[in-house]
Amino acid sequence: MNFAIVQVSQKLREVLNNLMQFYIYDLSEFLNFDVEENGKYSPYPLDDYFKEGNHHFAYLIKREEKYVGFVLVRLIEDLGLRRYSIAEFFILKKYRGEGMGKSVATDIFNRHKGPWEVHQIESNQGAQVFWKRVINECTKGQFEERIENGKTIQTFVS
């Protein structure tokens, strides 16, 4: 599978903002999102991903020089615990079902070694199936899963 994962610079922020509109549109099937007066969804809060020395990482996914998705990763530190989390993960529909999502997720888990927590909203069954399968394969079954506050959550170490 030929793809590249590029860390988002300030110069590429507009590309991420634009792709985010498609992502929010996809999520509107599961969450109560509507477009605003200007016909766009409310902007996703991305400022933390562009601050120096923060714990937020934004990546664009390219295939054959075309942008096809993105991944947002957070490093969460609270109550003395430190873990990575997929904040958002998106592949354009045209490129789904080809194994790219699994390959990208595996690459991201390898870039950020350590404890992970990945969660999906209860109503998004497709995301739950995808993440459980990918995490099971990446960890050879060494993960835990729980349901909490309307979310399915997988925890593991990469």
Average pLDDT score over residue span 16-43: 90
Number of domains forming the structure of the chain:
1
- Indicate the pTM of the whole model: 0.92
Please state, rounded to an integer, the average pLDDT across all residues of the chain: 92
Check residues 140 and 78 and name the one with the higher pLDDT.
140
Q: What is the pLDDT of residue 114?
A: 95
Confidence check: pLDDT of 53 > 70: yes
Confidence check: pLDDT of 108 > 90: yes
Confidence check: pLDDT of 54 > 90: no
**Which residues are CB-neighbours of 128 under 8 A, at least 6 positions away?**
120, 152
Q: What is the pLDDT of residue 1?
A: 65
**C-beta of residue 7 within 8 angstroms of C-beta of residue 58:** yes
Confidence check: pLDDT of 42 > 70: yes
Q: Which domain holds residue 16?
A: 4-157
Q: In the numeric block, which tokens belong to residue 56?
A: 């937020």
Q: What is the CATH number of the domain that holds 36?
A: 3.40.630.30
Average pLDDT score over residue span 44-63: 90
Q: How many CB atoms lie within 10 A of CB 114?
A: 11
Share of residues in the chain with pLDDT > 70 (%):
99
Give CA–CA dist 142/158, Å, rounded.
10
Angle between helix axes 125-139 and 100-111 (nearest 10 degrees) is 60
